[in-house]
Amino acid sequence: MVYNATQKIIKAHLVKGEMITGSEIAIKIDQTLTQDSTGTMAYIQFEAMGIDKVKTKRSVAYIDHNILQTGPENADDHLYIQTVAKKHGIYFSKPGNGICHQVHLERFGVPGETLLGSDSHTPTGGGIGMIAVGAGGLDVAVAMGGGEYYITMPKIVKVDLVGKLSPWVSAKDIILELLRRLTVKGGVNKIFEYGGDGLKTLSVPERATITNMGAELGATTSIFPSDEITYEFLKAQGRQSDYVELKADKGAVYDEIIRIDLCKIQPLVACPHSPDKVVLVSSLKDMKVDQVLIGSCTNSSYVDMMKVSKILKGKTIPEEISLSIAPGSKQVLSMLSKEGGLSDMIDAGARILESACGPCIGMGQAPSTDAVSLRTFNRNFKGRSGTVSANVYIVSPEVAVASALTGYITDPRELGEAIKVDMPEKFTVNDNLIINPAEDGKDIEVKRGPNIKPFPKAEELKENVQGKVLTKLGDNITTDDIMPSNAKLLPFRSNIPYLSEFCLTPCDENFPSKAKEQGGGIIVAGANYGQGSSREHAALAPLYLGVKAVIAKSFARIHKANLINNAIIPLVFIDVNDYEDISFMDELIIEDVANQIRKGIVIVKNITKGSEYNTLPEVTMREQDMLIFGGLINLMKNKKKDGE
């Protein structure tokens, strides 16, 4: 048999099922990662399982999202995560050490292994040859406890990279080109495996930029082979012993093949308010820019930062421009400083931010009213910057810095000869912000601040599900719409009752009050409902408000899994025209719901209109059980009772 790289890893980790596209498989997870905005929930759930020590090869808890400490809440959560990590065998990356995905790539990622992370950009690890998947905190907690992870065996798409990028065109433009071609829905239930002779031209951090933003395609994950370039990267990190070669066999088969001619790609930009609204940078030439932000897990590696510093060297940004830069990790920041790049940035007028997610998740640096903000990040959903009226454009570091210097959207090719920065032969390694877990954690006291509130628990399914349509939403509703995140709300990630007051408010201001008034109900939505983040808060807050089902044209993968884990029924319209028939506040009923789910087709009756809609639950047998027994936790309890 011949296998591609994806199949090789999946086969080596397969616990249940067969590698048949569309069927459910379970894989063993070698490594996990959490970050602080999803981590608290994940560890509360892990603690509830009563397991002393994680059963993975390596689990790491990062603090990188909620680093703005304007009150005790975030710091309390950090302390909780730090102590719970020490007790249960989890490495702890302190605030200041950097963004989880960047640090994981540098210090922990191992080719050929599996990684499950409670963050949707976990696929960054695909840059080093891992099957790295984003999931809700509960799934990560289960994996820490040694449980398998279930996915639908995705289609495997080969992305054949041919040739070499032109000067001033970068890895970011490759993934923007894919987004342009495939859209934010184009990757659902697919893994993108990169290949072709263009591979050898891309370093590990460049590959990671591409796999990182594969999340915006809705993909399960993306992966590059592990080759000489991977070896050089690991060696430079002092980790050559972690190297394993991983390549597709000759003649390996793929479900689809996409070809990208690297020489033909030009600098690209994603326009407001979606990462797939991609156009040529040159087509926006002369658009005035107010703010430029460089960093995030997509573009904050050492080479990215050094390039930016070299372009800024000896220059000054115009007075109307606000430029902020967040190097991705302590390693990057420290090396940038030793090489003199940091002072070139500071001298040019940049504001230097902590190595963390920062403005990418609305933690500070919200732009001014109606501002044009250029960012090297991965998401430009409306309002995510903290300013609803801002227009956020997603670009490469080269485009960002060229525009910061001119004050207008600028094609970097106008800057003349391209700047070249080599990958270092040796990175500065200093892991003093990574705290090892205790050998024996039994005497470690877990510190719980008052902000940590119990999370809502789902209940066993009743005979009928009945309720009003609490809101009717359009296509591509993001988890930022469902459960907004910003400097004001992130401190409450462990307080669902408080957060629920803001649930879906960017789309429908009155949603929380209506849901409460009606004692819960049903959400109706368009295509790709729940795209974006892995935050299970986008399921927990609706659960708290009594939402029982979401009927949509289609769902994004991670959010759908989070809904099922919390026993909110996801239903897909068979005839999309039925969506048009439903109105706000219509009374819907699903009778004998458990049996209908088991049968695989669910009839939703609209009592108000007197009509009926056929819908698909699109769930596996295991997921049917979860919905019926009241979510993953209840299902696990039930299985324990039955001695399974």
Contacts of 453 (CB under 8 A, 6+ apart): 494, 495, 496, 497, 498
CB 92, min distance to ligand MIC, A: 18
38 binds, among ligand SF4, ligand MIC, none (CB under 5 to 8 A by kind): ligand MIC
485 binds, among ligand MIC, ligand SF4, none (CB under 5 to 8 A by kind): ligand MIC
Q: What separation in angstroms does the CA of 145 have from each of 28, 140, 142?
A: 11, 9, 5
CB 315, min distance to ligand MIC, A: 31
CB 327, min distance to ligand MIC, A: 18
Helix and strand numbers (H, E) in the chain are 21, 27
| The only residue of 38, 152, 329, 378 in contact with ligand SF4, by rule CB under 6 A | 378
Query: Segment near ligand MIC (CB under 6 A), from 117-125, 167-175, 267-275, 409-417?
Result: 117-125
| The only residue of 13, 535, 548, 559 in contact with ligand MIC, by rule CB under 6 A | 535
Q: Give the footprint of ligand MIC on residues 448-507 (CB under 6 A).
A: 485
Q: Give the footprint of ligand MIC on residues 40-69 (CB under 6 A).
A: 65
Whether 428 and 316 have beta carbons less than 8 Å apart is answered as: no
Contacts of 520 (CB under 8 A, 6+ apart): 467, 470, 545, 546, 547, 548
CB 39, min distance to ligand SF4, A: 12
Provide the 3-class DSSP secondary structure of residue 303. Answer: helix
Query: Segment near ligand SF4 (CB under 6 A), from 75-83, 132-140, 311-319, 355-363?
Result: 355-363
Quick check: 38 binds ligand MIC (CB under 6 A)? yes
Quick check: 536 binds ligand SF4 (CB under 6 A)? no
Q: What separation in angstroms does the CA of 395 have from each of 101, 387, 399, 402, 447?
A: 19, 19, 6, 11, 41
Residue of 326, 341, 312 lying closest to 404 (CA atoms): 312
354 binds, among ligand SF4, ligand MIC, none (CB under 5 to 8 A by kind): none
Torsion sign over Cα 31, 37, 39, 42: negative
Helix axes 631-641, 557-565, angle to 10 degrees: 50
Distance CA 89, CA 441 (A): 8
396 binds, among ligand SF4, ligand MIC, none (CB under 5 to 8 A by kind): none
CB 122, min distance to ligand SF4, A: 9
Neighbours of 508 (CB within 10 A): 17
Quick check: 361 binds ligand SF4 (CB under 6 A)? yes
Distance CA 512, CA 543 (A): 11
Token representation of residue 76: 């309390």
557 binds, among ligand SF4, ligand MIC, none (CB under 5 to 8 A by kind): none
Q: Which is nearer to ligand SF4, 483 or 626 (CB)?
A: 483
| The only residue of 121, 180, 330, 472 in contact with ligand SF4, by rule CB under 6 A | 121
Contacts of 408 (CB under 8 A, 6+ apart): 285, 286, 287, 288, 289
Neighbours of 340 (CB within 10 A): 13
For residue 538, give the H/E element and its range: helix 537-544
Q: Which is nearer to ligand MIC, 6 or 118 (CB)?
A: 118
Binding mask 45-74 for ligand SF4 (x = CB under 6 A): --------------------x---------
For binding to ligand SF4 (CB under 6 A), which residues are involved? 65, 99, 119, 121, 296-297, 357, 360-361, 377-378
For binding to ligand MIC (CB under 6 A), which residues are involved? 37-38, 65, 119-121, 134, 361, 485, 532-535
